[in-house]
Amino acid sequence: MTTALNPKFTFDSFVVGAANRLAVTAARTVVENPGSAYNPLFIYSGSGLGKTHLLMAIGSQAKKVAPGFNIEYLTLDEYVEAFHAAIAAGQGDAFRRRFQNVDVLLVDDVQFLTGRAEMQTELLRLTEVLQGTGHQIVLTCDRPPGEIAALDERLISRFSGGLVVDMGVPDYETRVAILRRKAEERGAAFQPGVLETVAGADFVNVRELMGALNRLIAYQAVNETPINAEAAKQVLGLASVAAATGGGSADEFAQFVSDVTVTVGKAVEAWRSRVAEAILRWEGEGYRTHRLEALLERDAPAAVDEAITSFVKDVERLKALETEVAALDPQAAGQSIFRDPEHMPEAEEAAARVREGAGPPPAPSPAFPLAQFAAGASNQMAMSAVAAVLAQPGKKYNPLLLVGRSGLGKTHLLNAVGLELAQRRGAIVACLSTQDFVDELIAAIDGNRMDWWRARYRRATALLLDDIHLLAGKERTQEELFNLFNLFLDQERQLVFTAPTPPGAFQGIEPRIASRLGSGLVAELTEPDRDVRRGAAERLLVQLHQPTEAALLDYLADRPVDSVRALTTLVQRVVGAATAKEQPLSAGLAREELEGQAPVGERRRTSGFRTSGIVVSSAGGVRSREKMVWDWPEPSDRVLEESR
């Protein structure tokens, strides 16, 4: 089975260059001192670089040095084949004996040991035996021992234990030398520059170089004309290869183009990776990225960065909208519309809807400025409480409960406080009647918009409710108010309420609310004293553009009215009479009107509407003043109305 050594493969025919000098030296040493210098000698190199040549040269030389030597050269495959044949023939022992008696064992291509555990064991055993008996082993491989896949560790250490040398690609000079040597061997002569041209070409190994040389020899033999360098290039298909005399490698341009290709590839595709990055990022945050995905499907990036920037801008806007909406209505913020930059207008609309819905809560009526509230001894306590509240909202008297009979100006004072508070920076004052508060809540429950309803009031910096006693029996409203109440107290936001009686007398209101209502300051408004009456009369006359004579004001102030509202009715009556008579208003005219036709006056007073301008819609059905006048002419009806 052993391959005969090729007599052409000798040390003499082996061209030594920088790349293989070490290997050749080691090989020569091994021949001179078999089994003692480097054992085993492991030579590795790429294909076609002379491993086999060197291995055979060792064999040939050893035979020359010691003709009696038993020298075995075989490739690993042959070794495996021989082993299997021997085992099959039942002559395994004979096989082993045969190799144990070899003086120089030369094994080619040991990389094929991969995956042959049985052979590895066999070779390991053989190596040990040969090493032990001082017999030389030389192995070649296309890679270092450590890189042979699935090779037994013990073999690796055995192989590495001797000398491991590699052979590189011969340099240009060596290639020229190889070509010259081979051409000489073949008896071929070439024009100057031809062999250099071949050597300068980018052949990866000597075998290919030999192939090229063979082609040139054949070409020259056929054409019977000496080939020149240019023709040689044509023959070898190296037309684009530049002349090898010059610095650097032969085909610098080709190399350059390939480098540029890599760079362009990276650069051209870079925009894609930027887009993909953006998609990953925003998708991760839950935004729809159709727009960016569409970009990826295009061949050319049309303003990729602008597209990404505009996308990010839209997303930022969506975020802002969502944050805004979340503050107004936590439920609405979860809408998917705020995650889709493709539908910005819809998102804006949705936000606008929420914004509208959760607009500021009802504000105090501008018809009741504090300056127009007539102050006097009868409401001094309430006025000083209001002053304290305005000086330190939410801190001193919280809540402030204004108590007094109907028509004493509670509503006016409440709205006046609201107006004053609303003038502060960033203030959102919720000021409304309790009935409206209840109605809003019912509407919110009905529209399943409790969250926005709550959010709306939670934003307020002050909550002012008129006629808080109307909460009676409204359990849900009480519950909601209770929560708001605690929030406002915690955050020192002002609460102001009005009620006809102190909280202790409330019916149908939970004790926890009633007690809280009384926990701040309960300020009572009593029947207006003369100062208040005079002040109120003056204000009314000024409002109605009437003269404010002292005699008239004194007369009006002396009228025995029990509320500002009653006084207002009086004033309106006298003003109406003066207008009807086309006379200027005076004390005499007033007296004539009020005392001369007293019964009619009483009758008119039963009209039941609040001349202060506020319509208390506790009945929910009051549409117009005329209706009230004509529908409820009887005093008994008026009593009913007031008790509601």
Partner 1 sequence: MSLVNFTAREITCKIVYYGPGRSGKTTNLHYVYGRVPESRRGRMVSLATQTDRTLFFDFLPIDLGQISGFTTRFQLYTVPGQVYYNATRRLVLQGADGVVFVADSQARQLDENIESLQNLQANLLDHGVDIRGMPLVLQYNKQDLPRELILTSADLDDALNFRSLPSFPADALHGVGVFETLKSISEQVLKRLSQGTTA
Residues in contact with partner 1 by the rule CB under 8 A: 239-240, 242, 246-248, 251-253, 255-257, 259-261, 263-271, 274, 299-305
Is 456 within 8 Å of 425 (Cβ atoms)?
Answer: no
For partner 1, give the closer residue by CB, 43 or 304. 304
Please enumerate, as own/partner, the contacts of 470-473 that have beta carbons within 8 Å and a separation of 24 or more: 470/433, 470/434, 470/435, 470/438, 470/618, 471/434, 471/438, 471/508, 471/509, 471/513, 472/506, 472/507, 472/508, 472/509, 473/508
Q: CB of 250: closest distance to partner 1 in angstroms?
A: 9
Nearest approach, Cβ of residue 195 and partner 1 (Å): 21
State the minimum distance, in angstroms, from the CB of residue 481 to partner 1. Answer: 58
Which residue number, 261 or 543, has a Cβ lying nearer to partner 1?
Answer: 261
Least distance from C-beta 269 to partner 1, angstroms?
8
**For strand 400-404 and strand 104-108, is the pairing parallel, antiparallel, or unpaired?**
unpaired
Contact 46, 99 (CB under 8 A): no
Q: Which is nearer to partner 1, 16 or 254 (CB)?
A: 254
What residues contact residue 591 under an 8 Å CB cut-off, 6+ apart? 555
In angstroms, what is the minimal distance from the CB of 241 to partner 1?
A: 9
From residue 248, how far is each of 199, 251, 253, 255 by CA, in Å?
14, 9, 11, 11
Cβ atoms < 10 Å from Cβ of 385: 24
User: Are 175 and 90 within 8 A, CB to CB?
Assistant: no
Tokens 């870079």, residue? 270
Distance CA 26, CA 130 (A): 19
**Least spacing, CB of residue 255 vs partner 1, in Å:** 7
Give me the residues paired with residue 140 across strands: 43
**Which of 297, 299 has the CB closer to partner 1?**
299
Q: Please report how close the Cβ of residue 180 comes to partner 1 at its closest, in angstroms.
A: 24
Between residues 272 and 317, which has the closer beta carbon with respect to partner 1? Answer: 272
Nearer to partner 1, 150 or 268 (CB): 268
How far apart, in whole angstroms, are the C-alpha atoms of residue 479 and residue 471? 10
* Cβ at position 300, least distance to partner 1 in Å: 3
* Cβ closest to partner 1, residue 268 vs residue 443: 268
Which residue lies nearer to partner 1 by CB, 263 or 617?
263
In whole angstroms, give the CA distance from residue 21 to residue 29.
12
Alpha helices in 50-135 (DSSP H): 51-65, 76-88, 92-100, 117-132
The minimum distance between CB 203 and partner 1, in angstroms, equals 19
If the CB atoms of residues 257 and 619 are measured against partner 1, the closer one turns out to be 257
Q: Which residues of 501-530 are buried (b: 16+ CB within 10 A; e: fewer)?
A: eebeebeebbeebbebbbebbbbbbbbbbe
Nearer to partner 1, 267 or 371 (CB): 267
Q: Which is nearer to partner 1, 302 or 550 (by Cβ)?
A: 302
The dihedrals phi and psi of 594, each to the nearest 5 degrees, come to -80, -40
What is the nearest approach in angstroms of partner 1 to the Cβ of residue 306?
8
Which alpha helices (H) appear in 358-430, and where do they start and end? Answer: 380-391, 410-422
Minimum distance, C-beta of residue 259 to partner 1, in the bound complex (Å): 5
Q: Are 382 and 416 contacting, i.e. CB atoms less than 8 angstroms apart?
A: no
Smallest gap from residue 296 Cβ to partner 1 (A): 14
DSSP 365: P
Tokens of 441: 């809540």
Query: Quick one: 300 or 580, whose CB is closer to partner 1?
Result: 300
The least CB distance from residue 63 to partner 1, in Å, is 48
Looking from the CA of 462 toward its CB, the CA atoms found within 13 Å total 34
Q: Are 339 and 288 spatial neighbours (Cβ–Cβ below 8 Å)?
A: yes
**Helices (H) and strands (E) in the chain — how many of each?**
28, 10
> What 3-state DSSP class applies to 219?
helix
Whether the Cβ atoms of residue 52 and residue 44 lie closer than 8 Å to each other? no
Nearer to partner 1, 257 or 442 (CB): 257
The radius of gyration of the chain's CA atoms, rounded to the nearest angstrom, is 56
Q: Which is closer to partner 1, CB of 116 or CB of 274?
A: 274
Is 223 exposed, middle or buried (CB count within 10 Å of its CB: 0-12, 13-18, 19+)? exposed
Cβ-based nearer residue to partner 1, 43 or 307 = 307
Q: Which is nearer to partner 1, 265 or 447 (CB)?
A: 265
Task: Output the CA torsion sign for 163, 167, 171, 175.
Answer: positive
Owner of token pair 């503050």 = 327
